[in-house]
Amino acid sequence: MYNHSGKYLTQSNGIYYFIRRVPTDLSDQYKSNKIKISLRTRNPSKANRCARSITQRLDDYWLGLRLQKMDIPAINLLRDTSDSNNNGFMLTDALDLYLKLKGTDKDKTFIRTAHRNTEYVIQVLGNKSVIAYSSSEAAQFRDWLIDKGMGKSTVKRVFSSIRSIINLTITEKGLEGTNGFLGTFIPEGLKETTRKPIPTHIIKDIQNKCMELDDDLRWLIALLSDTGMRLGEAVGLLKSDIILDTDTPHLNLIPHPWRRLKTSGSERKIPLVGASLWSAKRIKQSDLAN
């Protein structure tokens, strides 16, 4: 069947399936060269909506994987050739060293954050020797972050990341000089961005829609809605992590080889109630792989 998502729908025994080949450049990320998902519907309109949604999510995910494989674009054009830059490691070199030494056991978020914060500095101050950045330039960088609308805690996190990258390089390479990002004053009263909670009636509407559509994607949403889990925690669950034959049905949230938990305190038992209990039962009843 052709649709707005491409040639990704097929039908077997009246049930629609989403089928799409894995791009060649991302084949090392998958165990199979083809993705096949039962849409659990005989309705062509619903099948098309699901296919469009899955296609968009795959396209976004694959774009993220491709960007992670890229070096900082055109970084060679940003190199500062002044004499001061010959006195030590460039900031991009420091980033490579930092990730080599400290990033081996960290998740993708840690690596992505280090890259992003380094790119911020380069965008504002250029790519220079780590000991060439002055305290006045660090203050200029702070002002740029504030102008971008970042709150105090976010600015502090960015500075902490950059300080760590530069400090490690100075120590490891025995460079003589100071870290210009040390001691930069972060003013009080910066407006923090607060996330407003989703209204209860909207959550209820979403849960009802999940039960109406009743497919694996909706099970995931319903599971999240009443447990407060992180998305990464939920998608890394096994069926055996769902405990229903007890007085208090719950999820046994533990680390797995394919999904570590954010902190040691993240390992916990999560009670199942309402929509999350419905979702857990549907997952256990399904013929999905473990």
Domains of the chain: 9-69 (no CATH), 75-173 (1.10.150), 200-285 (no CATH)
| Run of H or E residues at 16 | strand 15-21
Take residue 149 and report the two structure tokens written for it.
């609308």
| CA 30/CA 101 separation, integer angstroms | 28
| CA 250/CA 226 separation, integer angstroms | 12
Local structure of residue 35 (DSSP, 8 states) = E
Return per-residue pLDDT of the chain as tens, 290 residues. 444 444 689 999 999 999 999 998 888 888 889 999 998 999 988 889 889 889 989 998 888 888 877 766 666 665 554 444 445 689 999 999 999 998 887 878 889 999 999 999 999 999 999 999 999 999 999 999 998 888 888 999 999 999 999 999 999 998 888 999 998 998 887 666 667 888 999 999 999 999 999 999 999 999 999 998 888 888 888 989 999 999 999 999 988 887 778 777 788 999 999 999 999 999 988 876 55
Closest CA to 19 of 36, 7, 39: 36
pTM of the model: 0.47
Residue 243, classed as helix, strand or coil, is strand
How far out from the chain centre does Cα 77 lie? 29
Could you tell me the CA-to-CA distances from 36 to 11, 194, 267 in Å, in that order?
12, 39, 31
